[in-house]
Copies of this chain bind each other. A is one copy, B any other.
Amino acid sequence: MISQKAKYALRALVALARQPTGQPVFIGDIAEAQNIPKKFLEQILLDLKHHGLVASRRGKAGGYGLFRPADTISFGEVLRIIDGPIAPLPCLSKIAYRRCEDCAEEASCEVRRVFAQVADATRAVLDRTTIADAIASNLPIRLRELVA
């Protein structure tokens, strides 16, 4: 299960990506439209900003916007920022490897070998799919054919 926070983050990014001209959107507007507690969303967006995914402007005409093109932001990147490693076992994480202390030898660990397959399959989806992909696949079928 991914955290509620990660789900909020992804929904917020999708909302920002939908903004036609990339104009900034108020936190309050996103919060209302997406049913996310506003103060919680503030934390999330701030976090995403610190990682360079979104940018903000203060003041009366402020708001948030994507900092990078939507087709360069993968689901995997967002999940790693918000929820931490994607790997199902610490000993399978690429960004935060940690040996399982209770495991005798990693090389012959049956459990690890199976979950390595899970990790590969998961990453294949999450690191390949971007925010832009998620929006594109939302178009009605006929429209999508026109685009392609």
Interface residue ranges, A against B (CB under 8 Å): 1-2, 7, 10-11, 14, 34-36, 75, 85, 87-90, 100, 102-104, 108, 110-111, 113-115, 117-118, 121-122, 124-126, 129, 133-135, 137-138
Contact = CB atoms under 8 A, between A and B. Distances in A.
A134 B118 contact: no
A114 B1 CA distance: 14
A7 B111 contact: yes
A11 B35 CA distance: 42
Contacts of A113: 134, 137-138
18 contacts: A1-B89, A2-B88, A2-B89, A7-B111, A10-B111, A34-B102, A35-B103, A35-B104, A110-B138, A113-B134, A114-B125, A114-B129, A114-B133, A118-B122, A121-B121, A121-B124, A121-B125, A122-B122
- Enumerate the 5 nearest inter-chain pairs by beta-carbon distance, A residue then B residue, closest first: A121-B121, A110-B134, A35-B102, A10-B111, A117-B125
A11 B109 CA distance: 9
A52 to B, nearest CB: 21
Contacts of A133: 114
Contact of A11 (B2, B14, B111, B134): B111
Contacts of A111: 7, 10-11, 14, 134
